[in-house]
Amino acid sequence: QVQLVESGGGLVQAGGSLRLSCTATGSIFSIGAMGWYRQAPGKQRELVADITRGGTTTYGDSVKGRFTISRDNAKNTVYLQMNRLKPEDTAVYYCNSLPVVVYMWGQGTQVIVSS
């Protein structure tokens, strides 16, 4: 079974940037489309960005123009570059396939944006 490990979160001031990484123990090319999800306190987990095997990207309205998702199939890694961060971006960020495969949920990486 493929396992996903997220990293790169932290505490940042509003307007700052972070780059998240999601590394798989197996081939993400074989998985297909990958997504970054986030869950803020008291809210449901939501999809913020996804990328197909071929590199076509889609973004949620709240992050469009600020976040960039990318993937390196050779390194089995998906990235999320987050710029111009806002306090409302505070959440635990996870990666998973699209559609989600339940057993692949990792521990996530915490992002806290201070105002």
Task: Give tens-digit pLDDT for 34-56.
Answer: 999 999 999 999 999 999 999 99
- Per-10-residue mean pLDDT of the chain, 115 residues long, equals 94 98 87 95 96 96 98 95 98 96 94 97
Question: What pLDDT shows up at residue 24?
Answer: 92
Question: What pLDDT shows up at residue 91?
Answer: 98
Question: What pLDDT shows up at residue 26?
Answer: 81
Cα dihedral 95/100/104/108 (nearest 10): 30
Question: What pLDDT shows up at residue 2?
Answer: 87
Of the candidates 80, 73, 82, 84, which has an alpha carbon nearest to the alpha carbon of residue 94?
Answer: 80
Question: What pLDDT shows up at residue 29?
Answer: 76
SS3 state at 104 = helix
